[in-house]
A and B are shown apart, each in its own frame.
Chain A
Amino acid sequence: MDKSTIGFCGYPDPYIINKLKVQYPDACWVDLDVELSFVPDYKILPQVYCKIIKNIVNNAVYYKDKLITIIMATGREKCDSAALASVILKNMGFNIIETKYENIETIKKEPIISTSSLPLVEKIQLITKEIIEPIDKTKLNRVNPRFGFWGVPPNDLSILNLFPDDTHVYGWTRCVEMGVPACYETEIMVDENVPTVFYSQAFCAKASLAKYLSFKYNGLYVDIDDIATNSIVAKIEAFINLR
């Protein structure tokens, strides 16, 4: 089988990404964090577990024959669960490159996409896309925030359609755009007068920050496992409608 794909998860070290891009200029890059509807659950990880980490392992198994390598973020910029998924995948025979990108001294980039007028789902997709390829941001307009979305890219992206376009992105996703995915200080910074939904993927350690910050800034804390329930959707709808 022709190996033509490089899998990645989280925010791997850009230096290693660039090296691989030079080494494999024609490779197709796949974000293994993202749920793909055609990929089955191989039931390698526990049923009750972080959906994002389950996506990484399931997607890796699905693409196994095509994968040149998987470049995995396993440091403070990702999580312990990703580090353990890396251990499992290595043990299963995958070619894994682990990176830790914990440098918080880097000059932070402007969060142009996070504060733009794009629909929220496009903002988040563009930010994750930029991990691998440069994005032209010259035509993006900044808007003042009416709402905020704090957190990691959710497994169920459809919830992002509930937000108006003048929603700013905060939390880890904004840290990614700013080039400092391991900077907790930046991660907890929000505009305190902007009504914000603090999102946590279920079984993620960042739930502690989401809950704490929602209380501190009078926002809405939501925790979603796989697909958002009607109750969660209604909560977000109500928060946006009533605030």
Chain B
Amino acid sequence: MKKMFFVDAGTTWSKLVVLNDNKEFYNEYKNYFVKSSDIKSYYILPSKLIKQMNISFDYTTGHMAKLKNKNHNNHYNEIIALANGVKKKIENEKEAIILDLGSRDSKWIRFTNGKFCDLDWNVSCGSSTGATIEMLLKFYDLKSYDIKYQNEKYNFTCGIFAFEKIMDDISHGLTPNDAISRLIHGIAYNSFCFANKPQKIYLSGGFCNFNAYLTSLKKYCEVETLGRFLLCEGLINIQNP
């Protein structure tokens, strides 16, 4: 069986699914191995590593991946990959909003009766997302599990203003954990508003594993997590519809 690579290369992390993985690849990248299922092996690697790898990928999405594609015709924009990844999952839903929250952007698509209906992709104002949180956690030497849900939230329209609030509150005695938690609650509320305040959100991306974010978002709507590999699954569905 031919080995195939499907990669979603984001700003900081790349999600990679290898079909018919072999020991050679696994041995080299086992530190980044996440799980395997049937013929699929799942990896999450830093995107800077993806750039250095001596591999051409079969199907790609994400702006960091295009140059590494074997065939540029097999590079898909992230919304197309997302939509193809979720199609089967929501085909019987009357309405479904899928929100993908990335490292520096957020995007949503809406399906009505299993049919693609609407979308939005927010780069500039959605910039206060995953990468911001990662930088803050590193700066304050915290792990994501240190951050617990807070009922209070920061209302902000721009990441710079959010930073100002965090720094201010910490200088007045709030712990960094609590300040970051309020930011995360603010991000959750902003993403709920960005998705047009639906009753339910299907969530994709790294925030699926972040409890403080999920608890915050669940305050506003029902949430079903779809994990970090949805875009890769979309590429696989495109390759083999």
Given A230-B63, A234-B77, A237-B77, CB of A242 within 8 Å of CB of B123: no
Given A230-B63, A243-B116, CB of A238 within 8 Å of CB of B122: no
CA distance A235 to B107 in the complex (A): 10
CB distance from B225 to the nearest CB of A (A): 22
Do the beta carbons of A231 and B83 come within 8 Å of each other? Answer: no
Residues in B83-109 with C-beta less than 8 Å from chain A: 83, 105, 109
Do the beta carbons of B80 and A237 come within 8 Å of each other? Answer: yes
Q: How large is the interface on A (under 10, 10 to 19, 20 to 34, 35 or more residues)?
A: 10 to 19
Q: How many residues on chain B are close to A (CB under 8 Å)?
A: 16
Q: Per-residue CB proximity of A205-243 to B under 8 Å, as 1/0?
A: 000000000000010100000000111001101110111
CA distance A234 to B80 in the complex (A): 9
- 6 residue pairs, one from A and one from B, having the closest CB atoms: A238-B79, A242-B116, A234-B77, A231-B123, A231-B121, A241-B80
Q: Does B78 contact A (CB under 8 A)?
A: yes
Do the beta carbons of A218 and B121 come within 8 Å of each other? Answer: no
CB distance from A141 to the nearest CB of B (A): 28
Q: Per-residue CB proximity of B27-70 to A under 8 Å, as 1/0?
A: 00000000000000000000000000000000000010000000
Q: Does B224 contact A (CB under 8 A)?
A: no
Which chain B residues lie closer than 8 Å to A231 at the CB level?
105, 121-123
CA distance A183 to B123 in the complex (A): 36
Do the beta carbons of A218 and B117 come within 8 Å of each other? Answer: yes
Residues of A at the B interface (CB closer than 8 Å) are: 218, 220, 229-231, 234-235, 237-239, 241-243
Known: A235-B121, A237-B80, A242-B119. 15 other contacts (CB 8 A): A220-B119, A229-B123, A230-B63, A231-B105, A231-B122, A231-B123, A234-B78, A235-B120, A238-B77, A238-B119, A241-B80, A242-B79, A242-B80, A242-B116, A243-B116
Main secondary structure of the interface of A (DSSP, over half): helix
13 sample A-B contacts, Cβ–Cβ < 8 Å, listed by A number: A218-B118, A230-B63, A231-B121, A235-B120, A235-B121, A237-B77, A237-B79, A238-B77, A238-B80, A238-B109, A239-B119, A242-B79, A242-B116
Interface centre among B63, B79, B83, B105 (most CB of A within 10 A): B79
CB distance from A192 to the nearest CB of B (A): 15
Do the beta carbons of B83 and A242 come within 8 Å of each other? Answer: yes
CB distance from A38 to the nearest CB of B (A): 29
CA distance A220 to B121 in the complex (A): 12
Do the beta carbons of A234 and B79 come within 8 Å of each other? Answer: yes
Interface centre among B63, B83, B121 (most CB of A within 10 A): B121
Chain B minimum-CB-distance residue to A218: B117
CB distance from A242 to the nearest CB of B (A): 4
Do the beta carbons of A234 and B118 come within 8 Å of each other? Answer: no
CA distance A238 to B78 in the complex (A): 9
Chain A minimum-CB-distance residue to B238: A241
CB distance from B114 to the nearest CB of A (A): 12
CA distance A231 to B79 in the complex (A): 10
Which chain B residues lie closer than 8 Å to A235 at the CB level?
79, 119-121
Do the beta carbons of B116 and A234 come within 8 Å of each other? Answer: no
Chain B minimum-CB-distance residue to A235: B121
CA distance A10 to B217 in the complex (A): 48
CA distance A242 to B123 in the complex (A): 21
